Structure 1
Amino acid sequence: MATIKDIANMTNVSPTTVSRVLNNDQTISVLEETRQRILQSAKELGYKTILERQAEKHLDAAKKTPHVGILLCQTLEEEMSDPYFLSIRQGVEEELLKQGITSSSMFRLHETGSNQLIHDFDGLIVIGRISETALKKVSDHIQNVVYINHSPDDTLYDSVVIDFVKSTELAVKHLLNVGYKRIGYIGGEEKEHVNSGKVRIEDERLTTFEKLMKREGLYNPSWTFIGEYQMAHGYELMKKALKLGEFPEAFFIASDPMAIGALKALQEAELSVPNDVAIVSFDDIEIAQFTSTPLTTIKVHTKEMGQTGVKLLMDRLNGRTLPLKVILPSELVIRQSCGAVR
């Protein structure tokens, strides 16, 4: 590798002058002929300044950095109304930065035209439910795909999910162990994005609730209320439940935002939680511990789901071919709303 001393010997100029010229020192007084002779000699010898070497290093690093796409299956309104998916996305973005990936693009499924293809991604992270055929409508060639909160085909794709069956069992069995028998359900509709829009699919929270209650001989179909996973729907569904002649003494509510809406309906009806109606909900979003009656809820590690998805994608890009399905654990967080701490 050529040095400043080599250039100085070649041009009969002092090493100090060579260094100042090559580093574009504007304070040095030197003949233009001498300056050009130094620059030409440096070029012939293949000499590069520290700044040039650093620039090349950054350029090489940029070339090696994968370009990652983030496909959100929720509209902005849906994401804002249910922090579950927002937290997953934040986990993805934080881990991408931690991995040194600054080349990423985020887009929402409903914003992509039916014939618009997504190109130039080394890998794709899908947050939410989308059928494989619908995915191919927007991406016809991306091999490295990681699904978060959905696993369409664990023989082909990496995925990060939670066990909704075990999580629901934790919630319902807790209410049963506290002593409640008249237990209702408030939840939303699970939907999957397909070519024609959205279709309703089985929600394992609902089916598991029904299975457990039937096994106990306590299931009452009139105590099941289904809407959308939104706070306003939790409010309206609880108001509907309270109009029954005999309403449940406890509810499993399938999301914290819906539970917060339900709390407001109970407050307006001048009913006390948990003295009149107990609640166990699902998600453990940040506000769950600060509601008028802090919510007992199933904690889902949503941010970790996003972070794990990025790690799986990086592992894929580094050569792994075997698809992996990661199931993150959930846990019951007991607060005041279930009545267990009375």
Structure 2
Amino acid sequence: MITLKQISELANVSQATVSRVLNDDRTLIVTEETRRNIIAIAREHHYVKKERKSSKQNKKKTAPDKVAVLICHIEDEGNNLFFISIRHGIEKECKELGLVPVIYSINTLSQQEIDEQFLGIVVVGKVHPSIVENVNKGPDHIVYVGYSPDEQAYDSVIVDLEKAMESVLEHLLTHKYENIGFIGGYSKEYLNGNDTIETDDKRYISYKRRMQDLGRFRESDVYFGEYTMSEGYRLMKSAIASGHLPEAFVVACDPMAVGALKALQDEGISVPNQVALVSFDDTEMAQFASCPLSSVKIYSEEMGRAGVQLLMSRMKGREIPYKIMIPTELTIRNSCGTNKESH
């Protein structure tokens, strides 16, 4: 007599999916083709459902499928609103689909933790594929959110940060700002163990390219640190102390921008009359800062939701990997004024 495990291997689906199909669970999201295939295999091999032993067992509901969520920034998540929002999106979408998300950090992950019990893995942030490969999941069971290491192999959800930066610079340049600085940080890719490699952030790459094309790029106007308020404050203090403060800054995230704003105000430098600021993320802190910040809206919660949707689409039989680009939107507030000529 064939077992559930053997049926799952023949049908190329999880054992939990086989069980739910054979128990006529209509809340399960699966294609009719897959449902019919499972039933056909069971009939062909004369599968017999085991009788439940007690009335208490009869009342038990089928356990929901679980999704592993691998987050590279879980240790300092409290300081990273972008990753918090992505995580919330994943959790909300899972709840609506009847799935259970299980959160892991790459710094504490062991190969045994993520096994065949999971429907798939949603990877948040720049995690090298070699880490995910170690947990015995094929590319069709893995979705990357916020990173696309190999679009020929993995589903991914990303934001076009370079295009977003172009829109920020276009706004500043159109409104007569010429000397534009940058405050940001390095982008980390997580390797096996606790090793990381640093790469240039795509916002900075786009900023540097455009400013070089205009002949206005100055290395001395660029400041790198961690993506925190305290670092934004420290870096702006350094810019002020340099003696050649740009008339506008693009800042990589809202927390850094709030810190930079405080540094300017502590030195009696008016925003936007003397220095303009434009940020990224457009979180609540940007809207309610002492000088409301112009900021690029990144729909991070929707990124998380889209990641789960891609995983479920794969489970329905899609073979070609998808790469979804979530749009951004620049919201103009007080921190960059309306026109420099009116300052």
User: TM (normalized to structure 2)?
Assistant: 0.79
User: Distance between the aligned counterparts of 2:222 and 2:237, measured in 1?
Assistant: 13
Contact 1:117 1:140 in 2 (8 A): no
- Alignment-derived partner of residue 55 in structure 1: 59
User: Distance between the aligned counterparts of 1:131 and 1:307, measured in 2?
Assistant: 22
Which structure 1 segments of 5+ residues have no match?
1-47
Please state if 1:124 is matched with 2:121. Answer: yes
- Alignment-derived partner of residue 272 in structure 1: 270
1:338 counterpart letter in structure 2: C
User: Distance between the aligned counterparts of 1:254 and 1:277, measured in 2?
Assistant: 16
Counterpart mapping for 1:73-222 below 5 A: 73-77=72-76, 79-101=77-99, 103-113=100-110, 116=112, 118-119=114-115, 120-137=117-134, 139-142=135-138, 143-196=140-193, 197-222=195-220
User: Distance between the aligned counterparts of 2:75 and 2:88, measured in 1?
Assistant: 14
Structure 1 residue 201 displacement after superposition: 1.4
Higher-Rg structure is 1
User: Distance between the aligned counterparts of 1:312 and 1:94, measured in 2?
Assistant: 15
User: Distance between the aligned counterparts of 1:108 and 1:293, measured in 2?
Assistant: 36
- Alignment-derived partner of residue 231 in structure 2: 233
1:70 counterpart letter in structure 2: V
**RMSD (CA atoms):** 1.9
Q: Report the 3-state secondary structure (helix = DSSP H, G, I; strand = E; otherwise coil) of the residue aligned with 1:337.
A: helix
Which residue among 282, 285, 300 is the counterpart of 1:284? 282
2:286 counterpart letter in structure 1: A
Q: Identity percentage over the alignment?
A: 40
Structure 1 residue 310 displacement after superposition: 0.8
- Alignment-derived partner of residue 313 in structure 1: 311
User: Distance between the aligned counterparts of 1:53 and 1:131, measured in 2?
Assistant: 43
Count of aligned pairs? 284
User: Distance between the aligned counterparts of 1:116 and 1:317, measured in 2?
Assistant: 22
Q: Report the 3-state secondary structure (helix = DSSP H, G, I; strand = E; otherwise coil) of the residue aligned with 1:122.
A: strand
1:307 counterpart letter in structure 2: R
2:107 counterpart letter in structure 1: H
Q: Report the 3-state secondary structure (helix = DSSP H, G, I; strand = E; otherwise coil) of the residue aligned with 1:110.
A: coil
User: Distance between the aligned counterparts of 2:166 and 2:281, measured in 1?
Assistant: 14
CA displacement, residues 280-300 of structure 1 (integer Å, 9 cap, x when unaligned): 111111211000000001100
Q: 1:238 to 1:116 in 2, by over 3 A?
A: farther
User: TM (normalized to structure 1)?
Assistant: 0.79
CA displacement, residues 256-293 of structure 1 (integer Å, 9 cap, x when unaligned): 11001101111110111101110011111121100000
Structure 1 residue 104 displacement after superposition: 2.7
Which structure 2 segments of 5+ residues have no match?
1-51
Structure 1 residue 173 displacement after superposition: 1.2
